[in-house]
Amino acid sequence: MKGKGHRVRRPLLKWVVALCLLAAVLVSVDRQTLWQELSQMPIDLLLPALAITVLQVLLSSGRWWYTARRLGVSLTYRVALREYYIASFLNQVLPGGVLGDVNRAWRHGRASGQPLYAMHGVAIERLSGQLVLGLAVLISVSWLAQVGVVPPESPWWMWGLVGLVVVVFLLGRYLIRSSRGARHYLRGLWRDIVRTLVAWPAFPIQMGSSVLVLASYLAVFLILAYGAGHLTSWNAMILTAALCCLLLLSMVLPVTVSGWGVREGAAAVLWPMAGLPPEQGVALSVGYGALVFLSTLPGLVFLTVRLKQAGSGARDPVRKNQDQRAYHCPD
């Protein structure tokens, strides 16, 4: 019972953290100005912004489908698209922002009969996106330091963080040398990473698709900023894009639900550093969060259909559509 209560309290705690952070942001900004900023975002721009979010899912699903093919795991693009929508919706409503991807990996592993490769496929597909985001953040911080938005030493802190990750990786590699099982698993994981992310032609395909996905994220931010009348010059557009890269990085922290609270708190800090009102950044962050949530609602439809089929005893649509014969693509 104690373990069950702990499992229930942890998700609730993240909801509480999100609400507390949002409340703190609302207290720290002018709420009337914030409402004016939100009301300036025209409704007619929602359609192109939502269209871009559809492109996001199409690209991300294709990236997962390609990764699975490189691993030799059967996955049709139609199934990948449906499961990605479901995962995106679950990531929006469940604490941590990764439980939808965990469910996606588990269902794919059950359907394909290759759970380890299915798990690696989802993890590497997500890693591809995070690598591109990390590079974009480094470029953004370097540029923001040059124009005086952030302290000049900030890029060195970012590169120091990269160095710390490398040191931790090397230390972990040294510590697990005594474990044959861990050594065998990591070698297999590294081979999968090389096959799906580093080897030719995987690298340009993975990086190219991830760059397009990141560009679509930033395009949604920029559409909202344009609708609110904030993109008055090219410099304003570049500044907004750089700041939004940092907002996307803040959402990686799995301490709330879908980045709510953390994203708005980061906006309330970053925009004044750029000489802009915090309400502008918070409004942009709230608009982005609401729009992304709306874009994942097809996942709710797919999830409802799946639950109805499970309740009626119908065959799992993933199992029905998956070719159970695994095939391998040449490296």
* pLDDT tens sequence for the chain (331 residues): 455 545 556 667 777 887 888 888 888 888 888 888 888 777 778 888 889 999 999 999 999 999 999 999 989 999 999 999 999 999 988 877 788 889 899 999 888 888 999 999 999 999 999 999 989 998 898 888 887 666 665 555 555 555 555 555 555 555 555 566 666 777 888 888 999 999 999 999 999 999 999 999 999 999 999 888 888 889 889 999 999 999 998 888 777 777 788 888 889 988 988 888 989 999 999 999 999 999 999 999 999 988 887 766 555 545 544 444 443 443 4
CB 304 within 8 A of CB 248: no
Give the Cα separation of 292 and 295 in Å (integer).
5
What is the reported pLDDT for 46? 82
CB 229 within 8 A of CB 223: no
Closest CA to 98 of 113, 106, 84, 88: 88
Torsion of CA 298, 300, 305, 307, to 10 degrees: 160
What is the reported pLDDT for 262? 86
What is the reported pLDDT for 203? 94
What is the reported pLDDT for 299? 93
CB 92 within 8 A of CB 18: no
Closest CA to 289 of 9, 21, 10, 84: 21
Give the Cα separation of 218 and 224 in Å (integer).
10
CB 222 within 8 A of CB 245: no
What is the reported pLDDT for 146? 81
CB 220 within 8 A of CB 291: yes
233: left (phi over 0), alpha (psi -120 to 50) or beta: beta
What is the reported pLDDT for 168? 58
What is the reported pLDDT for 164? 57
What is the reported pLDDT for 326? 40
Structure tokens of 57?
Answer: 């899912």
For the entire predicted model, the pTM comes to 0.83
Q: Which residues contact residue 15 at a Cβ distance below 8 angstroms, ignoring those fewer than 6 apart?
A: 95, 256, 257
